[in-house]
A and B are shown apart, each in its own frame.
Chain A
């Protein structure tokens, strides 16, 4: 039953909102789950990739004759094995295999398939690449300079009038907003303007990219791969290899983390090309070093943020300049990031200008609310500084400006029912907000937003002979979605959760599904599951009607039973799902439910985070004492998973704030391509992350569900920075806020006080 159309109220639930055991849990803790690298096939070869040691170099020639002659080598591929193209897949084509130039350290130049890893490794050494090393640039501001080393001779900035005549590293200029910012600042009593820089970070998923490709001599291919979207993998790979889409079947493995980083292809087309050439299955597994150097970290940024307010804290104007570098190809998420980063407040006047810039770094990929944490860092830091200056309560100041139903967002749409106000109130009411702080301790607040996506979705639900259900969805489960799908199917059909088994079907078993991204799966695949269940219920009622010899409309479904709709329909004993399943063969054959659509009205999710830190003034080390995430889930289908998403995003954001960064040397090479030098927080670094689920139902979903996966990474950078500022009186404008950086700022503060 959806929202009651008359009352717009949410139904009461029997199972949604409970916390059953996850269906994939036991397999994961016992090692039975099969991840990307666990795939195997008879006659399998080992694929290895040769990568550019240079940040920027022309490839004069590649001589692989010696490698090809090495016993045990079955195939070598280079860009010559992929047809060039000029459509919107060209950047991906050039990223997965360098053409003419190596654009970043780690860029794939060639690949081999051999009978063993050691032969493959030897073969890589025998491939002679003649490089002409070119000047490089990895910093976003430097890349925008007129005399910066140019990555692409044909990159003309889009979004600028008149159209530039010369190429540059600026792929795109964006601008959005409304009102008159000059007028807004003129009306302000206080204007604060600051510059910010954030470093690139990596999603840090534990499972490296891995796949097994097998292309037969008849041209039919199979690919087993760790990905967030196997339909995307199929379509992109088939096109890059010139295959009919129907000839390639892709199966998604269990996934050890993605966070957006597995929404594109890296090794998959290469593995397929190797397999096609070798005529044998080829497995390619990235090392952690390769993951850091050659997958898709997030953008680094350079930003200017200016906000004007009246004395009472009401915002009069915001003006932002955002520069995001996205690695060697266009596509830095300055648009989505900028739009989401400013979305929390109601601005009478706002202007956001953004630049998407290319540099000699790996092409960025999505990372949890792509682009939003950086702009939010700037917005929420300036808001905090304003609240401090005006001596306003930071939550009250945010409440005064908070986006709510009817607010026109800076990026265009007017918000429907949204939960920012509710998260702010939840934060204020939480015990954490009342804890008294000690010396060198400070509290930071920040809010955040993510749009949430819907997207193309197809699910299928099949009734088994014993009344249990097989539920096939096409969106890889990266955060517990199978449990949520099972709960929703069980809720609709009125059967126990344990009677539903959800699987991630391969690409030939279901219609197209967009990748698991945009926090869309529990919303979109969940809604499809509900509709597929209703489709099945309709058929089940039809079967009961047939047995009873009454019209289909005279049968209703209630808590697992078909029943006559009333006295007029006839006096029949309710028929259980189990009975209907057992009799299916006699009443018309298999019973299934299907649904396919393009989901809309995802409903955004807002959050407010509260963090307490203690800064060691002698070392600059910041310890997180307690951390609270208050976020709107619409309706939490499986609250433990919702809390897990809140906690996971917060932890990744804390890492971004305090530790994590891509460090490049003067040679343009990454200096810290491993977990011993790239520092993600681990359990022993942090306290338990506290959570408060806020439920403002999304009218676009039958149960009111909103996606929850991404918003949680948006506030932490600002929240931590605001807490540091309150602890020791310094405002940091660069991430990460590492101990040496904090100590330096404390030293400068002491010098200012002394001087």
Chain B
């Protein structure tokens, strides 16, 4: 680890002020700290969001939920509010990493990092969530920009995520046996706005399986998408599974998610 300054502001305004030069925000630190230890990043300072009370918590809002950026995966997984309103989101959070990760990692940190195998991006995109920052509101569709890229600008801080309540939703993932990251994760949601199928782990970033969405619009059943093939071209291929294997898993996980919705 290289040397850096450490700040723990207690207000969002103070945090924003600290974000100059090569400063980096740290939420749960589940990705950043290992990166620092491996010397793959050299920030001038770390601004720890852990001291800002307003960033935590789960609130019912407009029929849906607003989840503060510093809310941990464990808090989402165990929240009665989440289980009542969007149970699939609680299931998603319960399946992230391991208990240690779930007790440290946060929703804001996860989506800001936008790991291509992270679970939350699929949930946000499928549910049509809105990312709230200290400057604006960004639709999830516009927020995730490919591998480790987001629409966030320098100095912009995610404060919360707002989820509408779906009629039905389910998340199915095939985890990497070691890291529990998604080899493939598919979140299917049926809302007033239609049906969304969001895929994580398979490609360089979360994406919507639009052919599946179309097929499901006419017939919301696993059979409707059985023959919808996801092209392997452009999907991730690594020692854990080829692009073809991942493409196959997308179909399997999508069908299982649809079945779980009905």
Contact of A679 among B98, B178, B241, B248 (CB under 8 A): B178
Report Cα–Cα, A679/B240, bound state, in Å: 10
Contact B252 A618 (CB under 8 A): yes
Residues from 204 to 248 in B contacting A, C-beta threshold 8 Å: 239-242, 245, 248
- 7 contacts across the A-B interface (CB closer than 8 A): A618-B252, A621-B174, A659-B177, A659-B178, A663-B239, A677-B240, A679-B177
Contact of A677 among B174, B178, B241, B245 (CB under 8 A): B178
Tell me how far the C-beta of B178 lies from the nearest C-beta in chain A, rounded to whole angstroms: 4
Q: Is B27 an interface residue (CB 8 A)?
A: no
For A743, what are the chain B residues with a Cβ–Cβ distance below 8 Å?
A: 245, 248
Residues from 634 to 684 in A contacting B, C-beta threshold 8 Å: 659, 663, 671-672, 675-680, 684
Q: Is A14 an interface residue (CB 8 A)?
A: no
For B178, what are the chain A residues with a Cβ–Cβ distance below 8 Å?
A: 659, 675-680
Contact B249 A619 (CB under 8 A): yes
For B249, what are the chain A residues with a Cβ–Cβ distance below 8 Å?
A: 619
Report Cα–Cα, A431/B240, bound state, in Å: 36
Contact B177 A685 (CB under 8 A): yes
Report Cα–Cα, A688/B218, bound state, in Å: 46
Residue of B177, B239, B241, B252 most packed against chain A (CB within 10 A): B177
Report Cα–Cα, A743/B242, bound state, in Å: 12
Contact A672 B179 (CB under 8 A): no
For B176, what are the chain A residues with a Cβ–Cβ distance below 8 Å?
A: 679
Tell me how far the C-beta of B125 lies from the nearest C-beta in chain A, rounded to whole angstroms: 23
Q: Is A740 an interface residue (CB 8 A)?
A: yes
Residues from 692 to 743 in A contacting B, C-beta threshold 8 Å: 739-740, 743
Instruction: Count how many chain A residues have C-beta atoms less than 8 Å from C-beta atoms of the other chain.
Output: 18
In the complex, which residue of chain B has the Cβ closest to the Cβ of A658?
Answer: B177
User: Contact string, B153-181, partner A, CB cutoff 8 A, digits 1/0?
Assistant: 00000000000000000000010111100
Tell me how far the C-beta of A749 lies from the nearest C-beta in chain B, rounded to whole angstroms: 16
B: residues with CB less than 8 A from A are: 98, 174, 176-179, 239-242, 245, 248-249, 252
For B179, what are the chain A residues with a Cβ–Cβ distance below 8 Å?
A: 676-677
A: residues with CB less than 8 A from B are: 618-619, 621, 659, 663, 671-672, 675-680, 684-685, 739-740, 743
Report Cα–Cα, A678/B239, bound state, in Å: 10
Tell me how far the C-beta of B138 lies from the nearest C-beta in chain A, rounded to whole angstroms: 30
In the complex, which residue of chain B has the Cβ closest to the Cβ of A621?
Answer: B174
In the complex, which residue of chain B has the Cβ closest to the Cβ of A618?
Answer: B252
Report Cα–Cα, A684/B174, bound state, in Å: 15
For A685, what are the chain B residues with a Cβ–Cβ distance below 8 Å?
A: 177
Contact A740 B252 (CB under 8 A): no
Tell me how far the C-beta of A728 lies from the nearest C-beta in chain B, rounded to whole angstroms: 15
Q: Pick the 9 closest A-B CB pairs, nearest first.
A: A679-B178, A679-B177, A618-B252, A740-B245, A676-B179, A663-B239, A740-B241, A676-B178, A671-B239
Contact B174 A740 (CB under 8 A): no
Report Cα–Cα, A678/B178, bound state, in Å: 7
Contact A619 B252 (CB under 8 A): yes
Contact B177 A677 (CB under 8 A): no
Tell me how far the C-beta of B186 lies from the nearest C-beta in chain A, rounded to whole angstroms: 12
For A621, what are the chain B residues with a Cβ–Cβ distance below 8 Å?
A: 174
Residue of B98, B178, B179, B248 most packed against chain A (CB within 10 A): B178
Report Cα–Cα, A739/B252, bound state, in Å: 13
Tell me how far the C-beta of A673 lies from the nearest C-beta in chain B, rounded to whole angstroms: 12
Report Cα–Cα, A659/B98, bound state, in Å: 18
Tell me how far the C-beta of B74 lies from the nearest C-beta in chain A, rounded to whole angstroms: 15
Report Cα–Cα, A637/B168, bound state, in Å: 57
For B241, what are the chain A residues with a Cβ–Cβ distance below 8 Å?
A: 739-740
Contact B248 A677 (CB under 8 A): no
In the complex, which residue of chain B has the Cβ closest to the Cβ of A678?
Answer: B178
Report Cα–Cα, A751/B242, bound state, in Å: 20
Tell me how far the C-beta of B191 lies from the nearest C-beta in chain A, rounded to whole angstroms: 27
Contact of B239 among A672, A675, A680, A684 (CB under 8 A): A672
In the complex, which residue of chain B has the Cβ closest to the Cβ of A121?
Answer: B39
In the complex, which residue of chain A has the Cβ closest to the Cβ of B39?
Answer: A121
For A684, what are the chain B residues with a Cβ–Cβ distance below 8 Å?
A: 98
Tell me how far the C-beta of A5 lies from the nearest C-beta in chain B, rounded to whole angstroms: 54
Known: A677-B178, A678-B178, A739-B174. 8 other contacts (CB 8 A): A621-B174, A659-B178, A677-B179, A679-B176, A739-B245, A740-B242, A740-B245, A743-B248
Tell me how far the C-beta of A674 lies from the nearest C-beta in chain B, rounded to whole angstroms: 9
For A663, what are the chain B residues with a Cβ–Cβ distance below 8 Å?
A: 239
In the complex, which residue of chain B has the Cβ closest to the Cβ of A680?
Answer: B178
Report Cα–Cα, A618/B248, bound state, in Å: 9
Tell me how far the C-beta of A301 lies from the nearest C-beta in chain B, rounded to whole angstroms: 20
Contact B242 A619 (CB under 8 A): no
In the complex, which residue of chain A has the Cβ closest to the Cβ of B251?
Answer: A618
Tell me how far the C-beta of A750 lies from the nearest C-beta in chain B, rounded to whole angstroms: 13
Tell me how far the C-beta of A537 lies from the nearest C-beta in chain B, rounded to whole angstroms: 51
In the complex with contacts A621-B174, A659-B177, A743-B245, A677-B252 CB distance below 8 A: no
For A672, what are the chain B residues with a Cβ–Cβ distance below 8 Å?
A: 239
Report Cα–Cα, A678/B240, bound state, in Å: 10
Report Cα–Cα, A618/B172, bound state, in Å: 13
For B252, what are the chain A residues with a Cβ–Cβ distance below 8 Å?
A: 618-619
Report Cα–Cα, A739/B179, bound state, in Å: 16
In the complex, which residue of chain A has the Cβ closest to the Cβ of B242?
Answer: A740
Report Cα–Cα, A368/B127, bound state, in Å: 50
Tell me how far the C-beta of A235 lies from the nearest C-beta in chain B, rounded to whole angstroms: 37
For B240, what are the chain A residues with a Cβ–Cβ distance below 8 Å?
A: 677
Tell me how far the C-beta of A582 lies from the nearest C-beta in chain B, rounded to whole angstroms: 52
In the complex, which residue of chain A has the Cβ closest to the Cβ of B249?
Answer: A619
For B248, what are the chain A residues with a Cβ–Cβ distance below 8 Å?
A: 743
Report Cα–Cα, A675/B180, bound state, in Å: 12
For B242, what are the chain A residues with a Cβ–Cβ distance below 8 Å?
A: 740
Residue of A618, A672, A679 most packed against chain B (CB within 10 A): A618
Contact A619 B174 (CB under 8 A): yes
In the complex, which residue of chain A has the Cβ closest to the Cβ of B175?
Answer: A621
Report Cα–Cα, A182/B198, bound state, in Å: 61
Tell me how far the C-beta of B230 lies from the nearest C-beta in chain A, rounded to whole angstroms: 14
Report Cα–Cα, A412/B221, bound state, in Å: 64
Tell me how far the C-beta of B183 lies from the nearest C-beta in chain A, rounded to whole angstroms: 9
Tell me how far the C-beta of A685 lies from the nearest C-beta in chain B, rounded to whole angstroms: 7
Tell me how far the C-beta of B235 lies from the nearest C-beta in chain A, rounded to whole angstroms: 13
Report Cα–Cα, A661/B242, bound state, in Å: 16
Report Cα–Cα, A618/B245, bound state, in Å: 11
